[in-house]
Amino acid sequence: MVVWDESAYHTSPVIDVTLAGTPVTPIVARFDVSSSLLEKAETVVLELADYNRIITGSVKRGDQLFIKWGYVGQEMVEIFRGVVRSIGVDDPVVIRGIDYNAILNSKRIQKTFEDETASGIIRAVMAGTGLGLEIEECAVEIDRLPLFNQTLRESLDTITEIVKTESREQYYDYIREGILHWGKKEISGEAQCAFRLGYNIIRQEVCPDGVEFLETLVTPVRHSEIIEVEGEKMFVVKVEYLWEGGGRTRIWYEHAG
């Protein structure tokens, strides 16, 4: 977790974008990263001003894509790590990316598990993906679970649904910095950033579903983290990072507790 120094707001925002091993920051026209605890994957739409295809001409589906942002003189935070999903043919070049859930969607398993805990099955299913694992211990024991030619993504969803039915508790998963996290919401942590009207909140509203929303400047906040809004602790459920000559962060959150 990046320790956030609010004095950074008084310096210039910066980005660092690497595509297929090549730094492309100077030709970034804009990007929009969407990251939600409630979605199956993080996605990005990246526009590059590479009109002669000097850099993007050799880029292909599956190539690595990394995006960081922050402020001059401050530690930058990674807001996207994944692979290229598609490459547009128009100008500017539009590249769509997906996080490492691409790995879970591309691999299949055919195996039956018996008398195993849910967390134990997840570790077995995810072995060999190359991802680090941070799996919360879960006492739910599954008598028999046949996984016949299911993707790893489908298998993980199946296990999570079984746990929800058996325990009446909701577990979530997400991939961050090459690590697959699976577990319940963690709402006991310290707030990473503080937001208040008249200082760093540009816009604020309550959504129809009861979740609250604010728009702010470039920040390191990520979903599943704790923030403070007008002195109250909140749990972040979704974040969008937008860049077009400058940055904006859109944060959806709920009360932590």
Other beta carbons within 10 Å of 106: 13
Q: Which amino acid is at 55?
A: I
Instruction: Give the span between the Cα atoms of 182 and 175, in whole angstroms.
Output: 9
Instruction: Give the span between the Cα atoms of 168 and 17, in whole angstroms.
Output: 41
Helices (H), ranges, 19-151? 101-106, 118-126
- Structure confidence at residue 3 (pLDDT): 42
Instruction: Give the span between the Cα atoms of 52 and 91, in whole angstroms.
Output: 9
- Structure confidence at residue 210 (pLDDT): 82
The pair of three-digit structure tokens given for residue 71, joined into one six-digit string: 């402020």
Provide the CATH number for the domain formed by 6-100+188-255 in this structure. Answer: 2.30.300.10
- Structure confidence at residue 6 (pLDDT): 61
For the chain, the residue count is: 257
First to last CA, the chain: 21
- Structure confidence at residue 1 (pLDDT): 40
Cα–Cα distance list, 142 to 110, 113, 157, 193 (Å): 17, 8, 14, 40
Per-residue pLDDT of the chain (257 residues; tens, 9 = 90+): 444 556 656 689 999 999 999 999 999 999 999 999 999 899 999 999 998 888 889 999 999 999 999 999 889 999 999 999 999 988 899 999 999 999 999 999 999 999 999 999 999 999 989 999 999 999 899 999 999 999 999 999 999 999 999 999 999 999 999 999 999 998 888 898 999 998 899 999 998 888 999 999 999 899 999 999 999 999 999 999 999 989 999 999 999 87
- Here the contacts of 26-30 (C-beta below 8 Å, separation 24 or greater) are 27/55, 28/243, 29/92, 29/244, 30/242, 30/243, 30/244, 30/245
Q: What angle do CA 134, 190, 133 make, to 5 degrees?
A: 5
153, 125 contact by CB (below 8 A): no
- Structure confidence at residue 9 (pLDDT): 62
Any idea which residue has 């910066």 for tokens? Answer: 14
For residue 40, give the nearest of 96, 105, 95, 88 by alpha carbon: 105
253, 227 contact by CB (below 8 A): yes
- Here the contacts of 76-81 (C-beta below 8 Å, separation 24 or greater) are 76/14, 76/16, 77/2, 77/220, 77/222, 78/177, 79/33, 79/35, 79/222, 79/241, 80/33, 80/35, 80/42, 80/44, 80/241, 81/176, 81/177, 81/178
Query: Would you say domain 103-177 falls under CATH 3.55.50?
Result: yes
Helices (H), ranges, the chain? 101-106, 118-126, 152-167
User: pTM of the prediction?
Assistant: 0.90
Residue 68's Cβ-side half-sphere holds a number of Cα atoms within 13 Å equal to: 13
Q: Which residues of 15-34 are buried (b: 16+ CB within 10 A; e: fewer)?
A: bebebbeeebeebbbebbbb
Q: Where are the domains of the chain?
A: 6-100+188-255, 103-177
